[in-house]
Structure 1
Amino acid sequence: MKQVAGQETFKDPKASKRQKAKHLKNEKIKSSLSKAAEGHELLIPKQDSKGKRGIQCPVCAKIFKCRSDYNRHRVTHTGEKPYRCVECGKSYSDSGTLTAHQRIHTGEKPYECVECGKRFNRSGTLKRHQRSHAGEKPYKCLECGKSFGRNSILTAHERTHTGEKPYKCLECGKSFSRSISLNRHKKKHAQAETPECAECEQGLSPKCVECGKGLSPSQLLTAHQIIYTGEHGSNHVKLWRVERA
């Protein structure tokens, strides 16, 4: 693929054809949604298979009870994310998802489990939690038949069959099938990089308290032990003040 006068051109005719088809589809979606937003006839109330009336999406033909429901659905086709979190900058396609996200910052947990009193910031999270009390396991592995209470656990389990390991340690290159396994592994690296002083048996912080610059384990231990020996190396290590962890 190359750029010519601001347009993409393809050596492979099939690739060019696919790109044109994708572009045409996107233009049709934009046109349909634009007309719908202007009150086009596609938004005249329709009946669904059960005889219920509502507003029909011109792109996928789904029918919604009211315009507000349709408007929330519409952005799934356009990719719009107009609702932005002022705290961290993340954007969302609907206000409800933004509200749920903002509870991460505020710490608000309005949904309480009547069984054990545990609280959650999303209703969906509460429902998943309640399955643990009810013993429900609606997510079933097609490979071995095992069932799970959460879809995310099923996804992680399925990797034992596929061998997929999407979580990679940037430190040593080792890969894992679950993010929690990677996090446990990374802690081992952090512990190995934090030396302990034989004199006081204290673990040491790997950063200088003066400037925040990182020290290698050997530099860190050397700088710390100056406290006991009074010796200074020939390098800049003698200038470092080291904070005990």
Structure 2
Amino acid sequence: GDEAARLGENGCSLKATEDIWFGCCSCTYFTRDQHGIVSHLVAHGDEQVKCPHPLMSPGSRSKVHTNTHMHRGLRFFKCKLCPQAFNWKSNLTRHNLLHTGERPYKCKQCPRAFAQSGSLVYHNHAHTGEKPFKCKLCHQAFATNSYLKSHNQTHTGETPYKCMVCPQSFAHRSSLINHNRTHAGEKPFKCKLCPRAFTRSSYLKEHNRTHNGDISYKCKLCPQVCTKNSQLRIHNQIHSGDKPYKCSICSQAFTRKSTLTCHNRTHTGEKPFKCKLCSQTFSQNSNLIRHNRRHNSEKP
């Protein structure tokens, strides 16, 4: 009666047919009986105020069952190896591949394989050279949206990943993970040809070039030779005039992210580098090194 009218006012047409299932938002109860669902909702009392009408789905019982789960935000498919849970069994199946190490999606052009089909799609861009994700602030483009998001932080100067041991912070989580290894002394990337080991895979790749006899990156526009590809990329910005690292407070822009980080301290007054022998602090590590020479009576 009154309850049915109230439910109707909330936008639910309670016309019962064999093709309509009524589901409760507060528990797993569902029925084809209009009067049955009304009585059930009344039984919930105050709890039902949050969702004062039943969910209705045409067709099958399984569909209303799924809809009520989604409406309540319930996640019934729980991983047995970690705390994650999912609305869909297919999502749990895909997640489990992370634990098993299984990579069923294999690249047809190289030995790489992936746990998710989407990762293979992005990887294929590396072979085709396709970079559909374009930066709106500079000329760069990327094979994946995640790479673009990481790149965008170079324009804002945002460094949300902060080290808990020292004042450094980073734009990317992977950079913080690599940095933490310097504190822990961990060097998981080992050379197969000599005893050297490194904190980053990129450092190992650079090192491997010394075994191959290829130790230099040459600029195509001038005689400059760099020992690292990253150094060559920064050098090339001198020729292009590209300064992608822009200050959000003033009009200055820089070729290097580290230069922007140092510049930002002129606005904030931050001096994170502290002398261990006296009370002085500095905005740049190079200034601290110069200062320490005075304590050691060293000349530059």
2:72 aligned residue (51, 61, 65): 51
Q: Residues 83, 145 of structure 1: CA spacing in aligned structure 2 closer, same or farther, 3 A cutoff?
A: same
Q: How many Å apart are 1:117 and its aligned residue? A: 1.8
Kept in 2: contact 1:56–1:62 (CA 8 A): yes
State the SS of the aligned residue for 2:72.
coil
1:62 aligned residue (55, 73, 85): 85
2:145 aligned residue (113, 119, 123): 123
2:128 aligned residue (80, 83, 106): 106
2:189 aligned with 1:167? yes
Q: How many Å apart are 1:75 and its aligned residue? A: 4.1
Aligned residues: 149
Q: Counterparts of 2:95 and 2:150 in 1: how far apart (Å)?
A: 24
Q: How many Å apart are 1:104 and its aligned residue? A: 1.3
- How big is each residue's C-alpha offset from its partner over 1:119-151, in whole Å with a ceiling of 9 and x where there is no partner? 100100110010110111111112224210112
Q: Residues 117, 52 of structure 1: CA spacing in aligned structure 2 closer, same or farther, 3 A cutoff?
A: same
Residue number in structure 2 paired with 1:202: none
Within-5 A mapping of 1:203-222: none
Q: How many Å apart are 1:74 and its aligned residue? A: 5.3
Q: Counterparts of 2:197 and 2:113 in 1: how far apart (Å)?
A: 30
- How big is each residue's C-alpha offset from its partner over 1:76-102, in whole Å with a ceiling of 9 and x where there is no partner? 466543322211243322211110111
Structure 2: 5+ residue stretches without partners: 1-61, 216-300
Structure 1: 5+ residue stretches without partners: 1-40, 194-245
Taking structure 1 as the reference length, what is the TM-score of the superposition? 0.50
Q: Counterparts of 2:130 and 2:73 in 1: how far apart (Å)?
A: 38
Taking structure 2 as the reference length, what is the TM-score of the superposition? 0.42
Residue number in structure 2 paired with 1:143: 165
Q: Residues 111, 168 of structure 1: CA spacing in aligned structure 2 closer, same or farther, 3 A cutoff?
A: same
Q: How many Å apart are 1:155 and its aligned residue? A: 1.5
Pick 1 or 2: higher relative contact order, CA cutoff 8 A, min separation 6. Answer: 2
Q: How many Å apart are 1:170 and its aligned residue? A: 3.2
Kept in 2: contact 1:57–1:74 (CA 8 A): no
State the SS of the aligned residue for 1:116.
coil
